[in-house]
């Protein structure tokens, strides 16, 4: 089994292209928030003397709380590729939530946020603007994380519901176990029926279990191609596809280019068909 790298888990495509272009920090959450927050992250860049740079991300099944230029936005799970062009000078701080971790902060299901990027004030009122101001007022990543965690603690009841931990565990298993190739495998592993799984994922994650399985496998495909995977037919088989053509079609539909083209752009030799 190939363990996903951190770049794979976050879904950054062609991660080597960003080396020397921007700096990124990750901070773990406080121990009381491990069921809620995956990590805090920060990105800084200074391209005032350079060409703009576009980062491509294949989003994970995780809701993001992002602060930039004093404004806070909530990114629901985005089912397509997400591109962000960096130019000039910039600084972004974000909180990446656990797959089911944002639901305790909401009044409705996570599916209400899917494929949406909305102003956090719409969800949390003036408190979101206050948090954005606190984060913008300091460059210290620890202080920023502390402000974000205080915001979360104020809005959730502890301990979290058992269903939060269950859904987190299901998505974690899907992410890290390459043997999980179909929703039926989740049913067998966790003893939860398909209909119940679908309801849980709509409520807590915002996308279907099938989408999560497919996305995790595409994340792994990108990571393997970044690492120099040379046999496309073999890779397609390992990822549970009926044939290479189905794999290439799914990869192109989401990433925007065929697996061989993606590998070349990553600086790797073209894989064998």
* Cis amide leading into 194 (omega within 30): no
Q: What is the mean pLDDT of residues 240-253?
A: 94
User: Residue 231 has what DSSP assignment?
Assistant: B
> How far apart are alpha carbons 223 and 36 in whole angstroms?
26
Is pLDDT of 28 > 80? yes
What is the reported pLDDT for 148?
Answer: 98
What is the reported pLDDT for 267?
Answer: 64
Q: In Å, what is the CA distance from 174 to each residue of 138, 190, 226?
A: 37, 11, 21
What is the reported pLDDT for 272?
Answer: 59
**Under a CB-based contact definition with an 8 Å cutoff, are residues 60 and 17 in contact?**
no
Burial class of residue 123 in the structure, from the number of CB atoms within 10 Å of its CB (0-12 exposed, 13-18 middle, 19+ buried)? buried
Q: What is the mean pLDDT of residues 208-235?
A: 92
Give the tens place of pLDDT for each residue, 150-167: 999 999 988 999 999 999
268: left (phi over 0), alpha (psi -120 to 50) or beta: beta
Domains of the chain: 6-155 (2.60.120), 162-265 (1.10.10.60)
What is the reported pLDDT for 10?
Answer: 60
What is the reported pLDDT for 2?
Answer: 31
Q: What is the mean pLDDT of residues 17-29?
A: 94
What is the reported pLDDT for 6?
Answer: 43
Give the tens place of pLDDT for each residue, 141-151: 999 999 999 99
**Under a CB-based contact definition with an 8 Å cutoff, are residues 231 and 219 in contact?**
no
Strand 53-57 versus strand 82-86 pairing type: antiparallel
> How far apart are alpha carbons 128 and 126 in whole angstroms?
5
pLDDT band at 270 (very low <50, low <70, confident <90, very high): low
Closest by alpha carbon to 4, among 133, 180, 163, 127?
180
Which SS3 state, helix, strand or coil, does residue 40 take?
strand
Is pLDDT of 229 > 80? no
Mean pLDDT computed over every residue of the chain: 92
């Amino acid at each position: 089994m190939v363990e996903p790298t951190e770049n794979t888990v976050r879904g950054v495509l062609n991660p080597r292209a960003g080396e020397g272009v921007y700096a990124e920090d990750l901070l773990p959450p406080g121990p009381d928030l491990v069921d809620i927050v995956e990590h805090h992250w920060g990105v800084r860049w200074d391209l005032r003397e350079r060409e703009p740079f576009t980062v491509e991300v294949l989003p994970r099944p995780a809701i993001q709380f992002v602060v930039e230029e004093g404004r806070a936005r909530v990114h629901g799970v985005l089912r397509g590729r997400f591109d962000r062009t960096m130019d000039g000078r910039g600084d972004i701080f974000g909180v990446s939530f656990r797959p089911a971790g944002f639901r305790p902060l909401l009044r409705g299901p996570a599916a209400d946020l899917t494929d949406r990027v909305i102003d956090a004030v719409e969800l949390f009122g003036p408190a979101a603007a206050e948090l954005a101001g606190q984060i913008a007022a300091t460059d210290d990543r620890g202080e920023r994380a502390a402000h974000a965690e205080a915001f979360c603690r104020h809005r959730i009841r502890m301990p979290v519901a058992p269903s939060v931990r269950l859904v987190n565990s299901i998505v974690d298993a899907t992410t890290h176990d390459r043997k999980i190739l179909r929703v039926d495998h989740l049913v067998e592993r966790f003893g939860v029926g398909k209909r119940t799984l679908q309801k849980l994922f709509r409520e807590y994650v915002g996308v279907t279990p099938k989408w999560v399985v497919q996305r995790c496998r595409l994340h792994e495909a990108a990571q393997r191609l970044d690492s120099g995977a040379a046999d496309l037919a073999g890779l397609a088989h390992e990822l549970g596809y009926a044939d290479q053509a189905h794999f290439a079609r799914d990869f192109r539909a989401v990433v925007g280019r065929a697996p061989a083209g993606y590998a070349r752009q990553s600086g790797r030799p073209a894989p064998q068909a």
